Amino acid sequence: MSGADPEPIHVAVGVIRQPDGRVLIARRAEGSHQGGRWEYPGGKVEAGETIRDALTRELHEELGIRPLELRPLIRVPWRYADKSVLLDTWEVRRFAGTPSGREGQPLRWVPPPELARYRFPAANGPITTAAALPETYLITPDVPGGERHSAFVERLRRHMAGGAELVQLRLPGASATAWRRIAADAAQVAREQGARLLLNGDVALARELGTGVHLPAAMVRALGERPLAASSLVGASCHDARELDQAVALGADFAVLGPVRPTASHPDATPLGDAQFQALIADVPIPVYALGGLGPEDLPQLQGYRAQGIAAIRGLWREA
């Protein structure tokens, strides 16, 4: 017997969204593989089909809808005891028709933060994370010299009230005292606004305040294992394939890869360029944000490469 794995079964999977952000899930028939669990609709790619063809056919067969706008979201390889699958997952942002369970399967439209409450097959973790994370990741600039901390926190509140759902607090110029104070205030504001806050590089304070943590690449290497429970977000900064592997091995929820393009804040760093960014993330089984010289206008292009979205300081932070 050869020890080599058989070719994985290629599966086209759809994260189907309403304009309000809710995501469609269906319950797998009892008796099928992973029966009784919830799934994102889709099915096996047949010989000669592209993923788009397969997803279009499956969504018609299972739900009676036709996808109109698709983008690649994440590819998750997984080995079950009885088979290996590759879940090639696409986000469906627009579709024609009204979904109905044409095979008798129950359907539900679920707000993204509630997806984690449902029991999915073991392979689905990264899909659920990708479905629940926003497409922008705001990284704060340092507090400008002379600005009061309260004014900075107020600006942060306005960003969160204006839709910044995922924010990394990064203040390389702050004293230890200022860092603690601002982090505590920012955590409070994030709770009030329903945003998720990650503290750059400070696991102990993240535990104390109940926030997430964003790990610089050197910390990912040094830690070796996930520092927070599954209920708190762990992000990881990466610059190359090795660091992406380390972030995945650590169990990070998502990675940030860059710099993709030249950026004023790191003028000495050599940008990866779009083609290399795309190649590097092609088989990374966690969501990856693109960082470096990017703003909201770049989102469609980067998402076409399978990025979760963009991370930025200047591109997303407004001084006014």
Residue 112: name its binding partner from ligand 8GT, Mg ion, none (Cβ under 5 to 8 Å by kind).
none
**Closer Cβ to Mg ion, 43 or 112, answer by number:** 43
Rule CB under 6 A: choose which of 18, 44, 154, 265 binds ligand 8GT: 44
Distance between CA 135 and CA 129 in Å, rounded? 12
The string over 34-68, giving b where at least 16 C-beta atoms fall within 10 Å of a residue's C-beta and e elsewhere, is beebbbbbbbebeeebebeebbbebbeebbebebe
Distance between CA 170 and CA 99 in Å, rounded? 43
Residue 137 in tokens: 């990741």
Q: Is 87 in the site for ligand 8GT (CB under 6 A)?
A: yes
Identity of the amino acid at 91: E
Residue among 95, 94, 82, 8 nearest 44 (CA) = 8
Shortest Å, Cβ 123 to ligand 8GT: 4
Q: Is 43 in the site for ligand 8GT (CB under 6 A)?
A: yes
- Within 202-261, the residues that bind Mg ion by CB under 5 A are none
**Closer Cβ to ligand 8GT, 43 or 293, answer by number:** 43
Identity of the amino acid at 178: A
Single out the segment in contact with Mg ion by CB under 5 A; choices: 36-44, 77-85, 199-207, 211-219. Answer: 36-44
Rule CB under 6 A: choose which of 16, 17, 39, 260 binds ligand 8GT: 39
Decide: 288 and 74 in contact? Cβ < 8 Å: no
Q: Is 23 in the site for ligand 8GT (CB under 6 A)?
A: no
Residue 12: name its binding partner from ligand 8GT, Mg ion, none (Cβ under 5 to 8 Å by kind).
none
200 labeled part of a ligand binding site: no
Distance between CA 92 and CA 15 in Å, rounded? 6
Q: Is 213 in the site for ligand 8GT (CB under 6 A)?
A: no
Size, binding site for ligand 8GT by CB under 6 A: 18
Q: Is 42 in the site for ligand 8GT (CB under 6 A)?
A: yes
42 labeled part of a ligand binding site: yes
Single out the segment in contact with ligand 8GT by CB under 6 A; choices: 116-124, 163-171, 208-216, 236-244. Answer: 116-124
Q: Is the peptide bond before 259 cis (omega within 30 degrees of 0)?
A: yes
Terminal Cα distance for the chain, rounded:
67
Residue 197: name its binding partner from ligand 8GT, Mg ion, none (Cβ under 5 to 8 Å by kind).
none
Distance between CA 297 and CA 299 in Å, rounded? 6
* Contact partners, residue 116, CB within 8 Å, separation at least 6: 128, 132
Q: Residues for the chain: how many in total?
A: 320
Q: Is 14 in the site for Mg ion (CB under 5 A)?
A: no
Shortest Å, Cβ 284 to Mg ion: 25
Rule CB under 6 A: choose which of 10, 21, 22, 34 binds ligand 8GT: 34
Pure H helices in the chain: 51-63, 125-132, 149-161, 176-193, 203-209, 217-223, 241-250, 274-281, 299-304
Rule CB under 5 A: choose which of 14, 15, 16, 43 binds Mg ion: 43
170 labeled part of a ligand binding site: no
Neighbours of 317 (CB within 10 A): 16
**Closer Cβ to ligand 8GT, 34 or 232, answer by number:** 34
Rule CB under 6 A: choose which of 124, 129, 211, 303 binds ligand 8GT: 124
Annotated binding site for 8-oxo-dGTP: 28, 33, 39-42, 124
Site residues for Mg ion per CB under 5 A:
43
Site residues for ligand 8GT per CB under 6 A:
9, 11, 13, 32-34, 39-44, 58, 85, 87, 121, 123-124
